[in-house]
Amino acid sequence: MTTIERSAVRPDLADPATYDAGIPHEAFATLRATPGLVRNPDGPWGSGFWSVTRLDDLVAVSRDTTTFSSAVGHIQIYDVDEDVRDARASMIDLDPPIHTRLRRLVSSAFTPKHVQDYVGDVRRRIGDRLDALEAAGGGDWVAEVAAPIPIGVICALMGVPESDHDLMIEMTDHLVEGTSSAELDPGAYGNTKPLRELPFNSPAAFGVEEYARRARRDRLAEPRDDLLTQLAVAEVDGERLSETEYARFFQLMIFAGNETTRSAMAHLATHLMDHADEFDRVRADGDLLDGAVEEVVRHASPILYFRRTAMADTVLAGTEVAAGDKVVMWYASANFDEAHFADPLAFDVGRPRVPGHVAFGGGGAHFCLGASLARIELAELVAEVLRRGLRLRPAGEVETVSSNFVNGVARLPVEVSR
Ligand code: HEM
């Protein structure tokens, strides 16, 4: 058994300010080099937890849903009161077998084969946004490209009308604020519930929930050919989803399909500027396109972590983990694990594809449902930027999203020319 000094970790990995300048690579490298697991102490952001920073350990946790639960405790660092846990939960907060039954309701729409049906819509959206950006000679890459494309794609797929897309962007922005240290207005979006009962402790979750309840009632009254109707009429164990279950599902899809891909697209712009030579390689050899997408997603690690709760005493990486302990899988660290990725901080579109990164999760039941869709969106965007021969240059201050959960970019001004 490894015994190590478990003094307070510097920096505090739970503090949103730790990520203000991006992923704290040096701190993670130190943790990866430390034998066993290192404990982040209890603090204002939530209970203490074991940090899982190496790729092999992360994969072991991710694939063992019996020992490491998503349903007990909470999958984010801040704790959730037990009496409200069920009311806030969506499938990502549940364990098999109920998780499996819920995921089956939507999984067929996201298979690698099925997502090919959306390529036309993805291309149209990318073309429109790049036309507008080019015509203006540049602008905020986040507002003009990275934010509207993923929300447009996921909303179209679900059946949310185009006129509501801006509202969805606004509400998901506010959801993320729940993972920052910002004080939220409890009454925003007409919220009447205590914030602790709402996902992300955010009043925007109330807004999303109300929107979803209305959508369900509309779809039941007037069925359409969309995922929102499919979810409204689908049955689990002979029963339809309740309004609350439906609303949680809706919120998960909107958040997961939007914020993450947006973040990867924002980081893509930075790489287009910092590593133009790597993209010249892709332009010269189209076979490198998929590798470029994987490298963007690995570097972005849009979701920094997910947390699990140990269901039994166990040993992980030589460290004793007790039943009830919190274990945090740091995707943002494992994606730079020098044991797997040579020169991990380098941006290399020709990097071997095996082993893969874990930005979409370390495998197992919860592996990202939208990974194929996100890959298509990113590949189409890279291909179109290269096809047009666009050159991006920095044009102002970059603002990051203050969060201990997402590696987001709020604003990224660029100049664009051919
Ligand atoms: C670059 C973009 C994306 C990244 C980095 C990403 C990342 C992740 C991660 C880390 C997880 C948790 C995996 C685990 O616990 O094993 C996840 C789950 C999930 N993702 Fe994504 N995601 C992305 C895009 C999308 C898109 C476009 C959708 C569209 C629907 C989506 C839907 C989901 C859903 C529904 C889950 C929960 C799956 C479950 O609990 O079974 N994601 N994603």
pLDDT confidence of 3, banded at 50, 70, 90?
very low
Q: Does 126 fall in a domain? A: yes
Q: How many helices and strands, by DSSP H and E, does the chain display? A: 15, 14
Q: Which residues does ligand 1 sit against, CB inside 6 Å? A: 62, 91-92, 103, 154, 252-253, 256-257, 260-261, 264, 297, 302-303, 306, 331, 359-362, 364, 366-370, 373-374
What average pLDDT does range 16-29 have in this prediction? 94
The answer as to whether 286 is a domain residue is yes
* Mean predicted lDDT score pLDDT of the chain: 92
Indicate the top mutation candidate among 360, 367, 375 to test ligand 1's pocket, ranked by most ligand atoms within 8 A of CB: 360
Top pLDDT among 196 and 344 is at: 344
State residue 169's pLDDT score. Answer: 85
Shortest-distance Cα residue to atom 41 of ligand 1: 366
Gap between the Cα atoms of 396 and 412, Å rounded: 7
Helical ranges in 41-198 per DSSP H: 55-63, 82-88, 98-107, 119-135, 141, 148-158, 165-177
DSSP class of residue 414 equals E
Q: Per-residue confidence at 217, pLDDT binned at 50, 70, 90?
A: very high
Left, alpha or beta for 140 (phi > 0: left; psi -120 to 50: alpha)?
A: beta
Name the residue type at position 282.
V
41 upstream amide cis, omega within 30 of 0: no
On whether the CB atoms of residues 189 and 210 are closer than 8 A, the answer is yes
**Six-digit token pair at 248?**
């949680």
Pocket test of ligand 1: the residue of 368, 373, 375, 409 to mutate, having most ligand atoms within 8 Å of its CB, is 368
Note whether residue 355 is domain-resident: yes
Q: What is the per-residue pLDDT across 241-288, written as a single tens digit (0 to 9) for each? A: 989 889 989 999 988 988 899 999 999 999 999 999 999 999 999 999
More confident residue, 257 or 6: 257
Q: What is the CATH number of the domain that holds 344?
A: 1.10.630.10
pLDDT at 5 over 60: no
Best CA proximity match to 32, nearest among 337, 404, 346:
337
* Lowest-pLDDT range of 23-32, 187-196, 219-228, 383-392: 187-196
pLDDT grade for 9, boundaries at 50, 70 and 90: low
**Quick check: is 52 in a domain?**
yes
> Does a structural domain hold residue 153?
no
- Which residue segment(s) compose the domain that 61 sits in? 16-140+257-417
Alpha-carbon separation of residue 21 from 72, 77, 132, 134 (angstroms) = 32, 20, 30, 29
Q: What is the DSSP letter of 19?
A: G
Distance of CA 211 to the CA centre of its chain: 22
Q: Could you tell me which residues come within 8 angstroms of residue 284 by beta carbon, excluding any fewer than 6 positions away?
A: none
Q: Is residue 11 part of a domain?
A: no
- What is the predicted pLDDT for the residue at 193? 86
> What is the b/e burial string over 169-193, where b = at least 16 CB atoms within 10 angstroms of the residue's CB?
bebbbbbbbbbbeeebeeeebebee
Q: How far is the CA of 374 from the centre of ligand 1 (A)?
A: 9
Cβ atoms within 10 Å of 194's Cβ, excluding its own: 11
pLDDT range class, residue 2, cuts 50, 70, 90 = very low
Report the 3 state secondary structure along 344-410.
Answer: CCCCCCCCCCCCCCCCCCCCCCCCCCCHHHHHHHHHHHHHHHHHHCCEEEECCCCEECCCCCECCEE
357 in any annotated domain: yes
Please indicate, yes or no, if residue 121 is contained in any of the structural domains. yes
Closest residue (by CA) to atom 17 of ligand 1? 368
State which of 260, 267, 303, 367 you would mutate to test the pocket of ligand 1, scoring each by most atoms of that ligand within 8 A of its C-beta: 260
Q: Over 50: is that where the pLDDT of 239 sits?
A: yes
Write down the pLDDT at residue 81.
82
Q: What residue owns the CA closest to ligand 1's atom 23?
A: 260
Instruction: Give percent of the chain with pLDDT exceeding 90.
Output: 75
Q: What is the pLDDT of residues 66-97, one digit of tens each?
A: 999 999 988 999 888 887 777 778 899 999 99
Nearest CA to ligand 1 atom 1: 261
**pLDDT digits 0-9 by tens, 325-384:** 999 999 999 999 999 999 999 999 999 988 899 999 999 999 999 999 999 999 999 999
**Rounded average pLDDT over 177-188:** 79
Number of Cβ within 10 Å of residue 48's Cβ equals 15
Residue 8 pLDDT > 50, yes or no?
Answer: no
In the predicted structure, residue 16 carries a pLDDT above the cut 80: yes
Q: What is the pLDDT of residue 183?
A: 80
Question: Number of folded domains in the chain?
Answer: 1
Residue nearest to atom 39 of ligand 1 (CA): 366
